[in-house]
Amino acid sequence: MNFLRIFRRKREETPEVEIVSRRPVGRFKVEKILRVLKRQVLIGEVLEGLIYPGYKVKGRKAGLIMEIERNHQKVNFAVAGDRVALMLENEIPCEKGETLEVYQS
């Protein structure tokens, strides 16, 4: 019966992401919102600045960027004008067309 307890465990809540930096390093416009492997993925365009994994995006709440993909290839960063997918560690409430601020971690 120990095996069944693994499946009955409740999923632990991820702690809320906190923004320490005062000035945003970029902006990201959301064009599409997907869910991949129980993670939220934001597809859109980098409007300004530079985005790295580990940076945080902020709309109504903040989320940590785990991975960045461009043309289905994992990349180390994204610059203004790039259309990319941002995989977030936690889910944030946002809508299509919304512009999010990007902060250094």
Beta-carbon contacts of 88 under 8 Å, excluding residues fewer than 6 positions away, are: 39, 40, 41, 42, 57, 63, 64, 65, 66
- Whether 52 maps to a domain, the answer reads yes
Domain assignment of residue 2, yes or no: no
Number of domains in the chain: 1
Look at residue 80 and tell me if it is in a domain: yes
Query: Nearest to residue 44, comparing CAs of 21, 24, 68?
Result: 68
List the domain range (segments joined by +) for residue 94. Answer: 16-103
Q: State the CATH number of the domain containing residue 77.
A: 2.40.30.10
Read off the DSSP letter of residue 15. Answer: P
Is the full-model pTM beyond 0.85? no
Q: Per residue in 25-76, pLDDT tens?
A: 999 999 999 998 889 999 999 999 999 999 999 989 999 999 999 999 999 9
